[in-house]
Amino acid sequence: MNGNTKIAASDINAGKKDELRTAMRKLWEDHVTWTRNVILCIMDGLPGTDQAVTRLLKNQDDIGNAIKPYYGHDAGKKLTELLRVHITTAADLVKAAKVDNKTSFDDANKKWTANADEISDFLSKANPNWKLHDMKMMMHDHLKLTTDEAVARKKKDYDADVRAYDQVHDEILKMSDMLTDGIVKQFPGKF
């Protein structure tokens, strides 16, 4: 097949696309689930915080590995690095929120937002179907909702905490589906 060959959407193997969608959703659901566990551990002083953080960091490796078949080893490694910064910065933000350290919270939030923009930029350059504006909006929504979740937990506003988690879960599924759709459009021959 030459580079000019177009494949109609109807020619795409729905089974392979569905497998990718399911795998991506699992990875990104793990992302918000393990983030939630870390928030709970930090805010509530629970044992197992180190183990939850380790598992969450492994998820970032898994996400990076998931894009390697499409974008190569270096791109997968770069995404993993960016996502690991995302997680360690989020942990700093949650720890600062727990002790009401506004300066540390604001510093972590600024670093977290800059990292979200780096992730958005990286992804939008990798795939023309992932528009920079859309990626930034989704990433910033993700940060806001995760922050809302942590702050609600800190305030012991458990209803708001649960609502924020439900919202961040819905948001991550939309992002996961957008990423899947972009991969399928960019690499139709693999599906």
Q: How far is CA 10 from CA 5, 6, 17, 188, 191, in A?
A: 15, 12, 12, 11, 11
d(CA 65, CA 121): 19
Predicted confidence at residue 13, as pLDDT, reads: 67
Question: How far, rounded to the nearest angstrom, does the alpha carbon of residue 73 sit from its chain's CA centroid?
Answer: 19
Following DSSP, what letter does each residue of 40-68 receive, concatenated? HHHHHT-TTHHHHHHHHHHHHHHHHHHHH
d(CA 68, CA 23): 14
Contacts of 6 (CB under 8 A, 6+ apart): none
d(CA 125, CA 153): 36
The structure tokens listed for 82 are: 């960016």
Label residue 31 exposed, middle or buried (CB < 10 Å: 0-12, 13-18, 19+).
Answer: buried
Predicted confidence at residue 177, as pLDDT, reads: 98
**Angle at CA of residue 178, ends 37 and 31, nearest 5°:** 10
Mean pLDDT per block of 10 residues along the chain (191 residues) reads 49 80 98 98 97 98 98 98 98 97 98 99 98 97 97 97 98 98 96 92
Predicted confidence at residue 78, as pLDDT, reads: 99
pLDDT digits (tens, 9 = 90+) for 58-91: 999 999 999 999 999 999 999 999 999 999 999 9
Predicted confidence at residue 12, as pLDDT, reads: 54
Contacts of 17 (CB under 8 A, 6+ apart): 180, 184, 191
Predicted confidence at residue 185, as pLDDT, reads: 97
Predicted confidence at residue 57, as pLDDT, reads: 98
98: number of CA atoms within 13 Å, CB side? 14
Predicted confidence at residue 23, as pLDDT, reads: 97
Predicted confidence at residue 6, as pLDDT, reads: 52
pTM: 0.90
Portion of the chain with pLDDT greater than 70, in percent: 93
Other Cβ atoms closer than 10 A to 5: 8
